[in-house]
Amino acid sequence: MPPQPRSPEPQAVTPAPGQDARLLTEAVTRLRRALRASIRTDYPWEQLPMAQVELLQVLAEHSPARIGDLATRQRLATSTVSGLIGQMINAGLVARAVDPADRRASAVSLTDAGRAQLAAWAEAHERRLDAALGALDEEEREVVRAALPALFRLAEQLDETDR
Partner DNA sequence: CAGAATATTTCGGAGACCGATGTAACCTGG
Partner DNA sequence: CCAGGTTACATCGGTCTCCGAAATATTCTG
- Report if residue 144 touches its own copies, rule: CB under 8 A: yes
In the window 93-132, what residues touch its own copies (CB under 8 A)? Answer: 122, 125-126, 128-132
Minimum Å gap between C-beta 133 and DNA is 22
Distance between CA atoms of 66 and 74, rounded to whole angstroms?
12
Question: Binding string to its own copies for residues 52 to 71, with x set by CB under 8 A, is what?
Answer: --x--x--x-----------
Give the largest CA-CA distance in the chain.
67
Of residues 18, 45, 104, 112, which one binds its own copies by CB under 8 A?
18
Site residues (CB under 8 A) for its own copies? 2, 13-15, 17-18, 20-35, 37-38, 41, 50, 54, 57, 60, 75-76, 122, 125-126, 128-133, 135-136, 138, 140-141, 143-159, 161-162
